[in-house]
A and B are shown apart, each in its own frame.
Chain A
Amino acid sequence: MSWGEFPFFAIPAALCWLLAGIGACRHQTGPRACVYIAHSAMVVGLVLFAVFIALFWQTLSRPPLRTMGETRLWYAFFMAGVGYFVWCRWRYAWMLLLSALVASVFIAINLLKPEIHSIALRPALQSFFFIPHVIIYIIAYALFGATTLAACVLLVRRKQGQDSDELLAFIDNIVHVGFGFLALGLLLGAVWAKEAWGHYWSWDPKEALAFVTGAAWLVYIHLRHRGLKSNAVIWALPISFILLLLGWFGTALFPGSSLHLYS
């Protein structure tokens, strides 16, 4: 199995995932059959993709983790898998569609840009922790992005005099689920850092910002456990998201060098 056969597995898998995402969204208003279609399409897509990875692994006789192209295989697979899990548990259809779209983008990059398949992965990145660490963070970020949007909607609605406890309950739920993913991503990073850098936590600039981000969401979670729900409390969400974006993209803006820069 090689990149030559990749399209025959990846395109059907991506189509299955997208179909599942659309089916799940349709199910909210449409017929019950949509939910079965979503489940079956999702599973078929995941199995197809897993078969390609397994056979490719066998051909390479090493885990496909060495190049950017190989890494994107796992990105696509885990993105779809975790999106499916979140949908199964929480029935957020948009989450399934969103993860299907992101997974398809990873597949599309591999299909359209074959010249970057063999871009070298540095030895420090050649680890089993790399993919779950990054994917779980992406999921957490996606969920936090959703809460931020919902928080803005809630603030606007309140301005118009329509408070919504339902929306607030939705926000709280996603913040907790998102924080769970954030904590898992952080812990996986810590375990990996012990293997790669000698210590599980070094207050590297990216780590310091990861701590800041986590602390910001924790403040919101505790404010809500106190039962507070004023506008000031809701504002904690967009502010936390700005800190999160700083941590994601902005490490290079700060003074001090980070071990997390791999450009």
Chain B
Amino acid sequence: MIKNAPLGTSESILFVVGIVLGGFLLQWVVGYFDFGLLHTPGNFIALGILAALIGAGVYFQDSPFVRWFAGIPMAIALIAALLVFGLFMDLTPQVSRLAPNTNDAVSRLGFRMVTSSWPFVLLYGTTLIALGITSFKRLVRFSRRDIAFLCNHLGLWVLMVSAGLGAADMFRVVMNVERGQTERTVYSADGKSLQLPISVTLKDFVMEEYPPSLTILDHQRGVSQSKEAAEYFQIDTQRTAGRLGDWLITVEEYVHDAVRIGDSYRAYPMPVATPAAKVAARHLRTHETRTGWVCSGGSMPDFISVLVLDERHTLVMTVPEPKRYASSVTILAEGGEPIDAILEVNQPVKVGDWRVYQYGYDTAAGKQSRYSAIELVFDPWLLPAQIGMGIMAAGAILLVWNGAGKRRESK
């Protein structure tokens, strides 16, 4: 058994600690790992090396070294080390690119971009080899009893290979496309322009908003009126009255697309139209009543109205929250046919290895936004990653079904 083998648990721990220390040293001397090296064909070369190492491991699976390297103690040491690096990611704010001339010890040791730091990359690579040998060893000697084991390990391996080796080939960019314009040029941080093999034309951008809320401002405190937390009255056509602080609020009239005409508001289908409400507020003790229009103004400062309740308190309307926003676009990928599509949050459009997302808009302008921010993501390694996830999902279902199963106990 492995317990009598020359290499055991302490050696596994020492080995992993060695990798981490070596990684830190490398990090200090040469800086962050350059993921550019893994651009195709770099990642295929890396995959070839990985396959050769795993193949050798599977071939020599009975040697004490391979049994130790792909054994449970090594797995535990590797998982624990990766766990610690996961914690580092939470304890230090992560950046996607370091500012030039960043030279503090935290950055030099790799904590600002943990996933690009040498110790993490080396741990990840070692895990790929060990997990690969473990998985393929069982796959070669396939037995039905091993299905759950295989799904959990092989699925994770496929996902980790696709995510790790595919990281460099992935390309993400956000373009602001103005209404009626076609955009295919993006700019890098240093101002260089790049022509994408895909273009997006924005035909229209629409946005629906939720009815806003009402709240009371306290002039002395300069904040929302309630003592503990801000209180809001959500305008709701089903429920027109409610309490807000010491006042009973009744919404007498609500106009979702209103424009101001004198001291009143009317429904009018104009781009600048914004929600307005005629509100009656009655003080719960003094029974004093105030009535008037309230409006947050939208993009028109002239539309703003508030209802003064007393010397200290004013009833105001919040800016409406977006309910749905969508862009009507035409997407043209090189060598393809133009595709008309509606882009919405949670509903990207797939064009070859590209996915096109509704990313955002000019939040200051709201409905009036002149542009739509569209994200383009190119990920040729997505399919293998999805296959890995699918295998893992099957493994997870088997775990739920089988539980711990039968095991041997040490005495």
Contacts A195-B347, A227-B409 given; does A215 touch B80 at CB 8 Å: yes
Contacts of B325 in A (CB 8 A): 123
Q: In angstroms, how far is the closest chain A Cβ from the Cβ of B356? A: 10
Give 1 or 0 for each of B235-260: 1 = CB within 8 Å of chain A CB: 01011001000000000000000000
Query: Are A200 and B399 in touch, CB under 8 angstroms?
Result: no
Bound CA span A201–B83, Å: 16
Bound CA span A169–B403, Å: 10
State which of B30-38, B48-56, B84-92, B178-186 sits at the interface with chain A. Answer: B84-92
Query: Are B377 and A228 in touch, CB under 8 angstroms?
Result: no
Bound CA span A218–B80, Å: 9
Bound CA span A114–B236, Å: 11
Contacts A118-B234, A198-B355, A203-B115 given; does A179 touch B94 at CB 8 Å: no
Is B292 part of the binding interface, using a Cβ–Cβ cutoff of 8 Å? no
* Interface band, chain B: 35 or more
Give 1 or 0 for each of B94-116: 1 = CB within 8 Å of chain A CB: 10000000000000000000110
Which residue of the partner chain A has the closest CB to B375? A198
Is A249 part of the binding interface, using a Cβ–Cβ cutoff of 8 Å? no
Give 1 or 0 for each of B11-32: 1 = CB within 8 Å of chain A CB: 0000000000000000000000
Is A226 part of the binding interface, using a Cβ–Cβ cutoff of 8 Å? yes
Query: Are B236 and A208 in touch, CB under 8 angstroms?
Result: no
Give 1 or 0 for each of B335-379: 1 = CB within 8 Å of chain A CB: 000000000111110000001010100000000000000010101
Query: Are B392 and A228 in touch, CB under 8 angstroms?
Result: no
Which residue of the partner chain A has the closest CB to B400? A180
Is A190 part of the binding interface, using a Cβ–Cβ cutoff of 8 Å? yes
Q: In angstroms, how far is the closest chain A Cβ from the Cβ of B230? A: 12
Q: In angstroms, how far is the closest chain A Cβ from the Cβ of B20? A: 15
Contacts of A173 in B (CB 8 A): 403-404
Contacts of B379 in A (CB 8 A): 199
Query: Are A219 and B87 in touch, CB under 8 angstroms?
Result: no
Q: In angstroms, how far is the closest chain B Cβ from the Cβ of A261? A: 14
Query: Are B91 and A255 in touch, CB under 8 angstroms?
Result: yes
Is A176 part of the binding interface, using a Cβ–Cβ cutoff of 8 Å? yes
Bound CA span A104–B115, Å: 43
Residues A213-263 near B (CB distance < 8 A): 215-216, 218-219, 222-229, 254-256
For A225, give its contact among B87, B377, B402, B407 (CB under 8 Å). B407
Contacts A123-B322, A215-B80 given; does A114 touch B239 at CB 8 Å: yes
Residues B378-398 near A (CB distance < 8 A): 379, 382, 385, 389, 392-393, 395-398
Q: Taking chain A's interface residues, is the majority helix, strand, or loop, or is none over half, making it mixed?
A: helix
Query: Are B172 and A216 in touch, CB under 8 angstroms?
Result: no
Give 1 or 0 for each of A187-208: 1 = CB within 8 Å of chain B CB: 1001110111011110101001
Query: Are A195 and B346 in touch, CB under 8 angstroms?
Result: yes
Is A164 part of the binding interface, using a Cβ–Cβ cutoff of 8 Å? no
Give 1 or 0 for each of B67-87: 1 = CB within 8 Å of chain A CB: 000001101100110110011
Q: In angstroms, how far is the closest chain A Cβ from the Cβ of B73? A: 7
Query: Are A196 and B345 in touch, CB under 8 angstroms?
Result: yes
Contacts of A255 in B (CB 8 A): 91-93
Contacts of B377 in A (CB 8 A): 198-199
Contacts of A222 in B (CB 8 A): 72, 75-76, 79
25 interchain pairs (CB within 8 A)? A89-B400, A115-B234, A122-B322, A123-B323, A124-B345, A126-B346, A172-B407, A176-B405, A179-B399, A183-B395, A187-B392, A194-B355, A195-B346, A195-B347, A196-B345, A196-B346, A198-B375, A203-B94, A208-B89, A208-B90, A212-B86, A219-B80, A219-B83, A224-B404, A229-B410
Q: Residues of B with Cβ closer than 8 Å to A?
A: 72-73, 75-76, 79-80, 82-83, 86-87, 89-94, 114-115, 152, 163, 170, 172, 210, 234, 236, 238-239, 242, 321-325, 344-348, 355, 357, 359, 375, 377, 379, 382, 385, 389, 392-393, 395-405, 407-410
List 18 additional A-B contacts (Cβ < 8 Å) besides A187-B389, A208-B87, A227-B410: A66-B323, A90-B403, A115-B242, A116-B234, A118-B239, A123-B324, A123-B345, A172-B403, A172-B407, A181-B396, A183-B152, A183-B393, A184-B400, A195-B347, A196-B345, A198-B172, A198-B348, A203-B89
